[in-house]
Structure 1
Amino acid sequence: MFLEGKKPHLAVIAGCIFYGMNGLFIDRIHDMSIAPIIFYRLFFGLLFLCIYITARGKTSDLKLKKRKGSLLLQGVLVVACMLLYFTCLKITCVSIAILLQYTAPFYVMLASPLILNEKIRKESISALFIAIMGVFLIVKPENLSGIELTGDYMLGIAAGLLSGVIFAALIMNVKILKAEYPELAIMFWPMGVALLLLSPFALEVSPDALYGNLKVLITFGIVSIGLGEIFTILGFANLKAQTGSLLALVEPVSGVFFDIAVLGIGLPSETLAGCAFILASAAFISLKGSENIKESEIKLSFEST
């Protein structure tokens, strides 16, 4: 069946929708700086993953093998990507932060032939061109009413662009790790490394602030790190890096949708047109693109997880 062969595509899309809710939670967290927010988001997300892995009886999947350095690198990249992304989010806005992070497909397209020996397919180039038009329509400054291009704002833009570079490295490193580890290990260990690296920030928040934001932080961790991570890693591990990075552009669209539907942020018609281009790009690469492993292997991978 068509949908059977597209499970990795649908997994990435589902994960990106969960990640697209980040702005909803950030908007509801008060009296906490970026680093403690990320720590507690990771803490509750990792706790959810532990429960999920134990309930599925898959603790044996967490056995450490070779490429421990790549697992450690993945954790460091996760921390750097989160800090840069949320810095951009705090300084600019949800839509801009997501869209700048998702310049990642550009970097994946350039680097994957050298690092992963992937060929640049004409479908990827066509989808990327469509996505470029969508990103341009959304982020061009004249569409961002009420935003001043101050020094702080430009710092936020730089943080967002750098988060895109690191996110591209994350996607490609997942492909490298997939040769040695099952998806659950690729989810769990880097998140554990990231949690340890961010642990010094746990005490930066007062008990009152933590208690006041506790429900939001728990939900944030489960939705973003828990569900978002499960779906996106399943998808990324079973797709070509180019295909996965292009499908991940669904997240900015979902972020824009939540901006409008929940936060009530008014966006111009050009922004909505840009979303349409990005969705068209994701649909095109999903329909025309091909996975880099056999469909039978994809099915076994999903069933084992």
Structure 2
Amino acid sequence: MAVILGCVFYSMNGLFISRIHDMAISPVIFYRLFFGLLFLFIYIVARGKTSDLRLKKKKRSLFLQGVLVVTCMLLYFTCLKITCVSIAILLQYTAPIYVMLASPFLLNEKIGKESIAALFVAITGVFLIVRPEGGLSGIELTGTYMLGMIAGLLSGVVFAALILNVKVLKEEYPELAIVFWPMGIAFLLLSPFAFEVSPAVLYSNLKVLAAFGIVSIGFGEIFTVLGLANLKAQTGSLLSLIEPVSGVFFDTAVLGIALSSETLAGCALIMGSAVIISLNDSKKLPEKGVKERPRTF
């Protein structure tokens, strides 16, 4: 439920971006991080959880997570700029494939038949939702477009690395630290972009940017990391495919974008795969015992 809720909050990105004017994407990402981190810090202090932010071992993994966050954003938006929204989403959400291939070697997780079936069902669903006009046969594979495709594929690989690294960090850090420190590192790495926007333009977009940061970085990141840290990496990566489904319905409800039969079918397939993988994992919970319950906030 935490991963699904986090994906719902993340899927509101398009609603906020559509309301931000006269700003390049880099400063938008920076101020999104600024307001998100400010919200997180206030939340942590208010809950008396500042001790959770104490640095322990695996500082390199924390720094790596911050670098991965920035890299994933830049690769995704590069693909988005060169190709189109549908290709960028489709390529980034190949991440569960890489997670499923890598988790047996890196995390000693077994690949079940249900996970493989759910993966194929979910990827088919994503393709139906965001498939480019004319299908894959209409995609160019030369020149600049190829660069965009490579950036999109790499964004999927980096997204998978983010999910896997959360499981590594969970061995040492509570969820709040896994959220806060990597985002703080990403904030510092993107700080040069803060000066690419004039004060007047920044002021005119301030309310939207603040809401954007609180919703996506605050609520979205907290719920997503809480879920990913306490699930198998394969399960978490598959459930993250709920995000494009949520995005479709927000686009329909708020922006008035019409739904095609293929889009509805794709949403149904992704929701079905989420049910398959969730029910499969819930059957295994009693075997793990009650003692290993997820940390709550």
Q: TM-score, normalised by structure 2?
A: 0.91
2:254 is equivalent to residue 262 of structure 1 = yes
2:45 to 50, 54, 63: 54
Deviation at 1:136, TM superposition (A): 2.7
Give the alignment of 1:103-118 within 5 angstroms: 103-118=94-109
Q: Which residue of 2 aligns with 1:77?
A: 68
Deviation at 1:299, TM superposition (A): 3.4
Amino acid at match of 2:61: S
Give the alignment of 1:132-171 within 5 angstroms: 132-142=123-133, 155-171=147-163
After superposition, the CA RMSD in angstroms is 2.2
- Provide closer, same or farther for how the CA distance between residues 300 and 282 of structure 1 changes in structure 2, counting only shifts above 3 A: closer
2:157 is equivalent to residue 183 of structure 1 = no
Q: Is the Cα–Cα contact under 8 Å of residues 126 and 244 in structure 2 kept in the other structure?
A: no
Residues in 1 aligned to 2:175 and 2:156: alpha-carbon distance in whole angstroms: 22
Residues in 2 aligned to 1:45 and 1:180: alpha-carbon distance in whole angstroms: 24
- Provide closer, same or farther for how the CA distance between residues 297 and 244 of structure 1 changes in structure 2, counting only shifts above 3 A: farther
Amino acid at match of 1:85: Y
What do the CA deviations read for 1:124-144 (whole angstroms, capped 9, x no partner)? Answer: 111012112212323333368
Deviation at 1:45, TM superposition (A): 0.2
Q: Is the Cα–Cα contact under 8 Å of residues 95 and 252 in structure 1 kept in the other structure?
A: no
Give the alignment of 1:243-258 within 5 angstroms: 243-258=235-250
Residues in 2 aligned to 1:90 and 1:17: alpha-carbon distance in whole angstroms: 24
Residues in 2 aligned to 1:154 and 1:28: alpha-carbon distance in whole angstroms: 30
What do the CA deviations read for 1:167-194 (whole angstroms, capped 9, x no partner)? Answer: 1000000000000111111011101100
Q: Is the Cα–Cα contact under 8 Å of residues 130 and 278 in structure 1 kept in the other structure?
A: yes
Deviation at 1:122, TM superposition (A): 1.2
Structure 2 gaps, min length 5: none
Q: Which residue of 2 aligns with 1:101?
A: 92
Give the alignment of 1:1-305 within 5 angstroms: 10-90=1-81, 94=85, 96-142=87-133, 155-290=147-282, 294=288, 296-297=290-291, 299=293, 301-302=295-296, 305=297
Residues in 2 aligned to 1:176 and 1:219: alpha-carbon distance in whole angstroms: 31
- Provide closer, same or farther for how the CA distance between residues 268 and 92 of structure 1 changes in structure 2, counting only shifts above 3 A: farther
Residues in 2 aligned to 1:163 and 1:256: alpha-carbon distance in whole angstroms: 21
* Matched residue count: 292
- Provide closer, same or farther for how the CA distance between residues 21 and 94 of structure 1 changes in structure 2, counting only shifts above 3 A: farther
